[in-house]
Amino acid sequence: MTYRADDRRYQSMRYNRTGQSGLKLPAVSLGLWHNFGGVDVFETARALLFRAFDLGITHFDLANNYGPPPGSAEETLGRVLKQDLRAYRDELVISSKAGYGMWDGPYGEWGSRKYLVSSIDQSLKRLGLEYVDVFYSHRPDPETPLEETMAALDHIVRSGKALYVGISNYPADMTRRAARLLRDLGTPCLIHQPAYSLLNRWVEADLLSGLREEGVGCIAFSPLAQGLLTDKYLTGIPVDSRAGKAHGFLRPAHVTEERLDKVRRLDVLAKARGQKLAQMAIAWVLRHPEMTSALIGASRVSQIEDAVSALDNTQFSNAELSQIDEIVGH
C-alpha cells in the first residue's frame, strides 16, 4: 500500500523557530533511540513514523549508534524513506549524531575530525540520503581539542553533508565556547540537545540562559525520563517497559521508591489539570521560551497521539509550578 500523508497534518501542530535561525521545528519531535532498531518489528516502526508525520511531526532524530544493533535505526528510517516518504523529504527535518562508541579502534568514538567525518558518511549511506538537516557532536570529547571538533562540524556543512550542526550533552561553559567557535568559522550552532525533565533539571542552572544569549535553540531529550514520567510505572515495572528490557537504558535500579513517590504525586497534579502525567511532563518542558521542541520516544501510536495532545494545555499557574517544585525539588 502506498502511503499518502494526511492533508490536515499542519493544522494543529505548533512550530517554533530554532534559536536565531530560519529553521522551525515541531514542538514535539520523534526520536528513534528506541523501538526502531534491528531487534524491533519493522512494520511497527513504519506505523509510528506515519502517524507522527500525519500529526505534523516533521522532525525525526537519530544517532549513528541507535539500534540495537548500532546503525540499524538509521537503516530502518532509510528503508521507510525509500519505500514511503521520499516524496516528502523536503518537508522533513532529519538529524543524526556521532560521539559514542560505534566501531573498534581508537577512532570509533568521541570527537575527532576523522571519526565525525567518517560517521556522517556512514550515516548517509544507511539513510540513503545526500544530506541530513542537522548533524550533532553527540558528546564532548575530553581529549580532542574543541577547536578540532567544531572545525569538523563546519567542514561537514561546507561539504554539503548537513545543512546545520548542533551539539548534545555539552555542559554550559563548553556550550558557550562551542557556539563562539562555530560562529567564528561561519557555521553557527543551530541547536543543543540536552536531557531535561521534571526529574532532571540541570539545564535550568545556566545552560538555557547561555543558549538564549548565543542565539542557539534547544531540544530536550528524555522529557519523560525514559518513560518513568508516565502512568506505566505507578504500580511497578512492566515486562514490556524500557526498564524491563535487557537492552534498555532505564534499569530497574533507577525505578526507586523515592522516585515513584514523586511520580505518583505528579500524576495527581496532572489529573487535576485534565492531563495524563506524560502530557503534563511534556508541557512543563516546553514552558521555557528557549525550548524549541520536546523529543519523545514511542513504542505505540497512542503514545505519539498523547504527546501531541499535550499541546492543548501548556499553561501553568504559579501555584502549579510551586507545587511541582515542592514535589521534585528546584
Tell me if 220 sits within 8 A of 195, measured CB to CB.
yes
Q: Which residues have C-beta within 8 Å of that of residue 70, sequence separation ≥ 6?
A: 64, 102
Tell me if 174 sits within 8 A of 196, measured CB to CB.
no
| 257-277 per-position pLDDT tens digit | 889 999 999 999 999 999 999
Q: Which residues have C-beta within 8 Å of that of residue 114, sequence separation ≥ 6?
A: 107
| 76-96 per-position pLDDT tens digit | 999 999 999 999 999 999 999
User: What is the model's pLDDT at position 248?
Assistant: 57
User: What is the model's pLDDT at position 116?
Assistant: 98
CA distance 166 to 179: 9
Tell me if 170 sits within 8 A of 193, measured CB to CB.
no
Q: What share of the chain is helix, strand, coil (3-state, %, to 5)?
A: 45, 15, 40
Q: Is the pTM of this model over 0.85?
A: yes
Q: Which parts of the chain sit beneath pLDDT 50? A: 243
Q: What is the CATH number of domain 19-227+291-310?
A: 3.20.20.100
SS3 state of residue 134: strand
Q: Is 68 left (phi over 0), alpha (psi -120 to 50) or beta?
A: beta
User: What is the model's pLDDT at position 232?
Assistant: 80
User: What is the model's pLDDT at position 237?
Assistant: 65
Nearest to 28 by CA among 296, 321, 235, 302: 296
Beta partners for residue 25, in sequence order: 16
66: exposed, middle or buried (Cβ count in 10 Å: 0-12, 13-18, 19+) = buried
Preceding peptide of 238 cis, ω within 30°: no
Q: What is the Cα 286 distance to its own chain's centre?
A: 13
